[in-house]
Structure 1
Amino acid sequence: MSGLVLRLAGPLQSWGEHSVFTQRDSLRFPTRSGLIGLLASAEGLHRGRPLSAYEELRFTVRIDRPGIRMIDFHTIGGGLPRGVPRPDGTQRPRDTATMVTRRQYLADAVFTVAVDGSDQRIDELAQALRRPHWQPYLGRRSCPPDQPLLLRQTDDAVAHLETKVPLARRLRQGEEPVVEFVVEGTADAADAVTEIADVPESFNRYDRRYRTRSVSIITRTLPGQLCSAGEEFWERLIAYVTEEES
């Protein structure tokens, strides 16, 4: 097994789980469906194509900065000559075409993600992320990621989250960094376990289907030397990205 270390950061992110058209929610951490969507975009996978190539992947999320939840108010469809399309492909009448939607985002959030899979699959994903077919995005196409997105390809990505990947945080004297991890399945040391419907079976525009899975939230204390702020943090992050695997 090998893995990738990704850094998900940007002005806005949105990781919906049970959204409907007029109310778009966001969980407080990246979803499996959102992460698979990011990778599928980089690989150029068309909507409706089988997602079996992503089933083997395991995701571990480190919540570096939870961000601020915000709600954006939208109106769509006003003045469109043919009205707003319905999910079944028909059109809403023009006199009822304007629709109000409210969409949740996470502003200024940062997550570090370990992606584990077979050596061949991880090699394919690393190549796609270095030269993406389509723009990767953080849950929605309106949310492009900051760079660097791909930090490292390594044999033990989860261990890197715990011991090597720099954390942008300023510590007080004697303070230790406490960070939440989101892991797949039910963990014995979990602070909380929840079930979410974010395992995609189909991204088809007219037939999106998802299964449920369990995830565990675990609080861990990380080594204090991982923490830095400002210019020092970016120097450490660049050093981590460019250093050779030992």
Structure 2
Amino acid sequence: MNALILRLAGPLQSWGERSAFNTRDTAPFPTRSALIGMLAAAEGRSRYADLDHYAPLEVTVRIDRPGNRLIDFHTVGGGLPAAHTVPTSEGGHRPADAATMVTRRHYLADAAFTIALAGPDPLLERLAAALERPAWAPYLGRRSCVPDEPLLLRDNVTDPLTELRTAVPLCLARPPASGQSTVRVGFVWESPPPGLAADAQLYEVTDVPTSFAPDNRSYSARRLWRTDEDLPTDLYAGRNPAERLIDYALRQST
């Protein structure tokens, strides 16, 4: 299978994993449900559309910058007429003296992730075209989280794992130390990676969407492996990486 290489970076990102009610969390890296939601939006698909369309995709995440956790304090529902306050589970609305709800929304600030999205060629061709001219604007987990450019770095990549390890520019939080030849970078894998290290972390997340329907959202679980890889410091893209990223995006796939 070939792959697309995406770069997900911006001032804020938020990848809800267990979000509910007044606390809106974020996972430490992009979730599969958020990525599929972004692709479906780019293709202009309805929230009620079948998601089997995306089942063949395999996602590998390179964590260039993990970002810093930020919690934003919000209030919801205050100062509204009684008929427009926050709905209750019984079908009514909260009374005026209890209308205001406090919510805490979690974000990753200044994070950057490089994604290899592998799958069948016809599907990848459609997705690449949709990301270049999206029906609805992509965002990084929440509508307020606008992605940096370029989003789609390259399509038709024949060896995505080698590409992530040896070719895609690295957007690190700080420059490598002088004389340093390699830098440790986190990876998240949906399948056991080649040469799986003994210290690899295995865990389970519930972020595979089976329905995005507003009245019937549902998700299933998947296994993930987390490793740290030694990448060459030559990949470091500098403090202002845009030029090097664009240059990479314009070059032909290896």
Specify the TM-score bucket, using the shorter chain as the normaliser.
Answer: over 0.9
Q: Does 1:118 align with 2:120?
A: yes
195 and 83 in structure 1: CA distance in 2 versus 1, 3 angstrom threshold: same
Report the 3-state secondary structure (helix = DSSP H, G, I; strand = E; otherwise coil) of the residue aligned with 1:230.
Answer: coil
- 1:197 maps to 2:206: yes
**TM-score, normalised on structure 2?**
0.91
In structure 2, the partner of 1:223 is 232
1:167 matched to 2:170: yes
Inter-CA distance 72–126: structure 2 relative to 1 (3 Å threshold): same
Structure 1 unaligned spans of 5+? none
Q: TM-score, normalised by structure 1?
A: 0.94
CA contact (8 A) 1:196 1:212 kept: yes
The verdict on how the C-alpha distance between 1:115 and 1:156 changes in structure 2, with shifts beyond 3 A counting, is same
Aligned to 1:14: 14
Partner residue, 1:70? 70
Give the match for residue 92 of structure 1: 93
Alpha-carbon shift at residue 206 of structure 1 (Å): 1.6
- Partner of 1:207: helix, strand, or coil? coil
RMSD across aligned positions (CA):
1.7
What is the letter of the counterpart of residue 208 of structure 1? Answer: R
Q: Which residue of 2 aligns with 1:39?
A: 39
Give the 3 Å change call, closer, same or farther, for CA 42–191 of structure 1 in structure 2: same
Give me the whole-angstrom Cα distance separating, in 1, the residues matched to 2:42 and 2:88.
26
For residue 212 of structure 2, give the secondary structure of its aligned residue in structure 1.
strand
Which letter does structure 2 place at the counterpart of 1:113?
I
Q: Offset of 1:156 from its aligned partner?
A: 2.3
Return closer, same or farther for 1:145/1:228 CA change in 2, 3 Å cut-off.
Answer: closer
Structure-2 change in CA distance of 1:178 and 1:68 (3 Å): same
Query: Are the equivalent residues in 2 in contact too, given 1:62–1:181 (CA < 8 A)?
Result: yes
Partner residue in 1 for 2:243? 235
**Structure 2: gaps of 5 or more residues:** none
Deviation at 1:93, TM superposition (A): 2.9
